[in-house]
Amino acid sequence: MTLKQLDRRGFLAACSRAGVASTLLPGVLYTLTSQAAQAQTEPGKPAEAPKITPELLDQAAVLAGITLTAEQKKLMLAGLGYQRDSYAEIRALKLPNSVAPAYVFNPLPPGARVETAKAAPRWSDASARSAPAQIEDLAFATVRELAELLRTRKVTSLALTQMYLARLKRYDSKLHFVISLTEERALAQAKAADAEIAAGNYRGPLHGIPWGAKDLLAVKGYPTTWGAGGFEQQHFDEDAVVVQRLDAAGAVLVAKFTLGALAMGDKWFGGRTRNPWNPNQGSSGSSAGSASAVAAGCVAFAIGSETLGSISSPSTRCGDTGLRPTFGFVPRTGAMALSWTMDKLGPICRAVEDCAIVFDAIHGPDGQDLATREAAFNWDAQYDWKRLRVGYFKSEFDPIKPFKAEGPKAGESAEEKKQREISNAEREAAHARRAYDQQYEAAAIDKLRSMGVTLIPVELPKLPYGSMTPLLTAEAAAAFDDLTISGKDKLLTEQGEEDWPNAFRIARFYPAVEYIQANRARTLAIRELSKLFEQVDVIVTPTFGEQLTATNLTGHPALILPNGLRGADAPRPPKIDDGNNDDIGGPQTPVSLTFLAGHFQDAKLCAFARAYQEATGFHKLHPKLD
């Protein structure tokens, strides 16, 4: 299976398997000796690590892909013993998830400059929106529209909050997007917002706006479950920084939303979050609840996170507008860590300017997340986007080649033939869905040209991005080391080959040397991809494919927005959504388009994406829930 054919979950698993087959050693000996010790120990008694022998070294060397002479093995024995003993002392520290490594990832190439001079934001005019006959008529209104109604006191925050809480309760049984309603907190915030606005103390366009948080953000007084079995009653004594900043902006937190267990997929300990356009499908993940609730008109906006597709994928599936910001633009303090060098927090909204409004409130250093950089986000709704140079990944918009089935192999058994035929059928169906969706991407190119955009063809630099992704699983395995060591990983909902428990175990065989080598390759990726943004300001691309992996590794920002609905003639989705394919399609479900930009050019990215969104209007389409 080629890189472009891999879905996100399968991609992680395949890359982890590639790591095991090619290069391993530091953790290998520990793992092998630990397994040997457990096998020789009576149940209930602590295991004693057996002696490291030349024979054990031979096993480790096979996994590591190296050859050792008898003399070399003899020289290594004592040092390896000391090294193995050091692991226990570190583990005895019981490092919590909140403790980051003593290094900070920097996505900027040499010589890059970041704009730090800040200007007051310039919002669009939303005065045309009138007060509704019924408050629920505002369920799908944009943040900008709601903000103006609140500022002019045509509606109250309390009325909006009660309306969204009622919708959350009404549709949760169908879509399964809520982990915790924060009703008491929300009603108090809404009443306070109304009193402040009435007194003339208007804080800005988020004042009184109801929102929801992905449940990897800590909120004092409520569980922060990370969507995972075994963490249902986990509490923290302080709000995440993003929550604090939205509180300061006057926003009203109404719910904590679902995420796939430990930020993978859309299955959590309470079930699977559903796609409002087709509840037979999951909403994709891992920002599953955030995307589903926004699309269903059950909250004005939500905060999600992305490590490798967790804003992009559910925003596509649910037809939302999602901003995955530049790495290091938003502090992650108080958020669950999955990968310290790849995690990013960002808004999921109904419109691009909504993303800009939310982002204006949450970005900037907090003094705790050392990866967060001082950089300006200067939003200007009147920005002349026609000044921007716009590129597109030309080859990604070329028609895909005809499907070619895998033929029989010599000596193929009946079972192998059956599996080959099943695989061919699945691949052919996926090919048909991809071919169908390309018409929407071609239409986007035509629309951009009709807007006067001169598209400059560019190509993604050819580098082994997939071989760098074991960085993610290695960091994730460290973040959740205790789950694997203690055996508590058995409490996680999913236990398959592609799920976290297995991925964490595999990652323990990924050596420190290869981790560093992959990061060096990542430096090349940053430099090469950044060169594209010396030629153009914005790049247009299909949402999925190799760029999704590449840009998450390099820390470049992305804006994902709806690009229409599939027609009644669309290929049918799989009968069962097993969560292993992010974009399974089907009639009357959304498609998306993605725009990319240079590091910390998120404001220009939003300005251009907003122009396309205003010209197409796809963000105004909403699912029918009743």
For residue 463 the two structure tokens come to 């580098």
- Contact between 273 and 176 under an 8 Å Cβ cutoff? The reply is yes
DSSP-assigned beta bridge partners for residue 274? 282
Q: Is the dihedral of CA 67, 71, 72, 78 positive or negative?
A: positive
Nearest to 5 by CA among 521, 585, 580, 586: 580
DSSP state of 156: -
Q: How far apart are CA 366 and CA 508, in angstroms?
A: 32
Long-range contacts of 29-38 (CB under 8 A, 24+ apart): 29/56, 29/57, 29/60, 29/80, 29/84, 30/84, 30/87, 30/508, 31/508, 31/509, 32/56, 32/59, 32/60, 33/84
Q: Which amino acid is at 351?
A: A
Residue closest to 577 by CA, chosen among 296, 293, 279: 279
Give the residue from 503, 31, 78, 85 showing the smallest Cα distance to 39: 31
Cα→Cα distances 520→417, 465, 467, 517, Å: 42, 12, 12, 5
Point out the residues that are catalytic.
214, 286, 310
Q: Which residue type sits at 103?
A: Y
DSSP 614: H
Amino acid letter for position 114:
V
Single-letter residue type at 472:
L
| Surface-to-core class of residue 203, CB atoms within 10 Å of its CB (0-12 exposed, 13-18 middle, 19+ buried) | middle
CA 98 to chain centre: 19
What DSSP designation does 122 have?
A: B
Compute the chain's Rg from CA coordinates. Answer: 25
What letters, b where the CB count within 10 A reaches 16 and e where it falls short, cover 162-192?
A: bbbbebbeebbeebbbbbbbbeebbbebbee
